[in-house]
Amino acid sequence: DIQMTQSPSTLSASVGDRVTITCRASQSISSWLAWYQQKQGKAPKLLINKASTLESGVPSRFSGSGSGTEFTLTISSLQPDDFATYYCQQYKAYSYTFGQGTKLEIK
Amino acid sequence: QVQLQESGPGLVKPSQTLSLTCSVSGGSVSSGGYYWSWIRQHPGKGLEWIGYISYRGSTYYNPSLNSRGTISQETSKNQFSLRLSSMTAADTAVYYCARRFPVAGYFDYWGQGILVTVSS
């Protein structure tokens, strides 16, 4: 399986901050990467597919970049609604695998 | 708008078989090129993909399940199901059903999830 590693595991930030979450794959996955947001007690919500394509309805303060083995999710100006856990997921190969998650906390 | 809803028991005894159903509305499980997946999340942990059934009925499972999983579909009810045998405490998790986008492997619609606890 392709291993996905996110960093940091926890990120403390304030409203208005610019934050970046990193996701690394154990082998090249081209751009076959998705990002999800999960709030406590809820299902994950798809934010970005193919590394940088924003899903319809997702605020433009979210952006994704990268290819190969290193990817980033950036939130340009944190809003109160953004405090959640974020997961990356590779879909280059079966079995699909997720990162361990990055919990974004209010500082 | 596509909606998915899991149903099934919240408590399963060790060694028993878990049966979960996902009811789909706003889309068909047997057309459109979509693949229908099960994903689980152990308490306080990350996400683990279990497997899928395609709109044509083909299946693929995560080898980590050691052949314990079976996914089937009932097109007349627009549902698909998961059976997971030989349940242990390690299978305690929230189980989600989700739709995989065509010709891609990301999940664009998810059910709300159902907590399954394995305990005697």
B34-44 pLDDT per residue, tens: 999 999 999 99
Give the residue-averaged pLDDT of A83-89: 97
pLDDT bin (cut points 50, 70, 90) of residue A48 is: very high
DSSP of B26-66, one letter per residue?
SS-TTSTT-EEEEEEE-TTS-EEEEEEEETTS-EEE-GGGT
* Residue B67: HSE in the Cβ half-sphere, 13 Å Cα cutoff: 0
Give the residue-averaged pLDDT of A62-85: 97
B108-120 pLDDT per residue, tens: 999 999 999 999 9
Decide if pLDDT at B102 tops 90. no
> Cα separation of B56 and B30, whole Å?
6
Res B89: pLDDT: 97
Strands, E, within chain A: which ranges?
A: 4-7, 10-13, 19-25, 33-38, 45-49, 53-54, 62-67, 70-75, 85-90, 97-98, 102-106
- Rounded to 5 degrees, what are φ and ψ at B89? -60, -30
B50-75 pLDDT per residue, tens: 999 999 999 999 999 999 999 999 99
Hey, what are B10's tokens? 């919240």
Is A95 in contact with B64 (Cβ distance < 8 A)?
yes
Chain B neighbors of A89, CB-CB under 8 A: 47, 105-107
Decide if pLDDT at A94 tops 90. no
Res B103: pLDDT: 84
Residue A69 DSSP one-character state: T
Decide if pLDDT at A104 tops 90. yes
Nearest to B94 by CA among B75, B118, B73: B118
Decide if pLDDT at A44 tops 90. yes
Hey, what are A94's tokens? 């079966």
B82-92 pLDDT per residue, tens: 999 999 999 99
* CA dihedral (B72, B73, B74, B77) positive or negative: positive
User: Hey, is the C-beta of A55 within 8 angstroms of any chain B C-beta?
Assistant: yes
Give the residue-averaged pLDDT of A62-89: 97
B7-21 pLDDT per residue, tens: 999 999 999 999 999
A2-34 pLDDT per residue, tens: 999 999 999 999 999 999 999 999 999 999 999
Is A55 in contact with B48 (Cβ distance < 8 A)?
no
pLDDT above 90 covers what percent of chain B? 95
Decide if pLDDT at A77 tops 90. yes
Chain B neighbors of A94, CB-CB under 8 A: 60, 62
CB distance A73 to A87 below 8 Å: no
Is B46 in contact with A42 (Cβ distance < 8 A)?
no
